[in-house]
Amino acid sequence: MPINSQKGVMDSQAEAIIHRNKNGDDEVDGRGGIGIPAMRLAVDHCVARAKEKGIAALPLRHVEHTGRLGAYAERAAHDGCLVIIIGGGGQQNWRQVAPYGGAKALLPTNPFCFGIPGGQQGPVIVDFATSMIAGGWLYAARAAGGKIPFGTIIDREGELSDKPAHYFNGGAILPKGGAMGYGLAVMAELICEAMLGPVTTEVNWFVMAVDTKRYREPHIMMNVAEEFLAELGDCPPAKGVTRVEVPGDRERRHRDENRGRIIALLETTWTAMQEKAKRAAS
């Protein structure tokens, strides 16, 4: 696997490839490169195979950070597929989350993503980590000198905290929803390492796609989905809440409202990015 000579982690020039394993099944090899084009290749190929066979699944290995999973799931759902993406297998190198009832970080943040064709507003996308917060939030909060929501992490003594420094000094993130997030994380580790094999980079990924047209005509499915989703959206909001949203609404609204506009970054984040760019260029 080609690697970056400076850090030994990522090859920015590597291109993902599709190959057949010894059993004749498709796999995607990221070859140690950037995860965004590799995940797009994996999802698009899985969707194409699902269109042929009704259902398809494949692993994605040897790949670095993939970005927001919901973007790939939305592509698949627009193409008429149910898609499931699971990441895991990094527990030896990414010990960030404590098991339910534990006081020591033993698990990664194990992302899951689901996408399915929805109603008139488009696909319904659920994209989440199995931890109370994503690991990147902690780095961002530390860089900005800020705090995080209280009760999302514990310090090295197992006490609840809102200070990023407590996490970086031997603490842990708590599992999302307690036993629920913990159980999903365990499944992700078993699927993506016990089943798929050793992790060579960040995590392994398992991608599955189902052609929904094999079960119901698209216009019927959309009408049923629209009726259900509209009822959710019409639910009276709780005190302090503007409206009840369907998964994916917030991302669509944010995209539409900010299309073509400047992306706001903290000054400390922008400065750090510039410094890293200068070091990389020297």
Same domain, 88 and 23: yes
Same domain, 43 and 95: yes
Same domain, 116 and 86: yes
> Which residues are bridge partners to 18 per DSSP?
28
> From residue 242, how far is each of 119, 200, 233, 236, 254 by CA, in Å?
21, 45, 11, 9, 16
Token pair of 96, please? 């960030």
Task: Report the CATH number at residue 154.
Answer: 3.30.60.50
Burial of residue 19 (number of CB atoms within 10 Å: 0-12, 13-18, 19+): exposed
How many residues does the structure list for the chain? 282
**Tens-place pLDDT, residues 122-144:** 999 999 999 999 888 898 898 88
The answer to whether 124 touches 225, Cβ cutoff 8 Å, is yes
- Say if 246 falls within a structural domain: yes
Number of domains in the chain: 2
Same domain, 147 and 199: no
Same domain, 155 and 220: no
Tell me which residue has tokens 């899985």.
46
Q: What is this structure's pTM? A: 0.88
Task: Report the CATH number at residue 109.
Answer: 3.30.1370.60
pLDDT of the chain, 282 residues: tens digit per residue: 333 334 556 787 899 999 999 999 999 999 999 999 999 999 999 999 999 999 999 999 999 989 999 999 999 999 999 999 999 998 888 899 999 999 999 999 999 999 999 999 899 999 999 999 988 889 889 888 889 999 999 999 999 999 999 999 999 999 999 999 999 999 999 999 999 999 988 899 999 999 999 999 999 999 999 999 999 999 999 999 999 998 877 777 777 676 666 777 778 778 888 888 888 787
Same domain, 105 and 212: yes
Cβ neighbours of residue 2 under 8 Å, at least 6 residues apart? Answer: 11, 13, 14, 31, 32, 33
- Say if 9 falls within a structural domain: no
Same domain, 226 and 212: yes
Same domain, 68 and 207: yes
Cβ neighbours of residue 153 under 8 Å, at least 6 residues apart? Answer: 132, 133, 138, 160, 161, 162, 164, 166, 167, 171, 172, 173, 174
The pLDDT of residue 16? 94
Tell me which residue has tokens 């060579």.
200
Same domain, 124 and 139: no
**Tens-place pLDDT, residues 9-38:** 678 789 999 999 999 999 999 999 999 999
Cα–Cα distance, 19 to 28 (Å, whole number)? 6
Query: In 3D, which of 74, 68, 58, 64 has the Cα closest to residue 21?
Result: 58
- Say if 201 falls within a structural domain: yes
Same domain, 196 and 264: yes
Same domain, 192 and 149: no
Same domain, 138 and 263: no
- Say if 214 falls within a structural domain: yes
Segments forming the whole domain that contains residue 64: 17-128+177-275
Single out the residue in 145, 174, 203 at which a domain terminates: 174
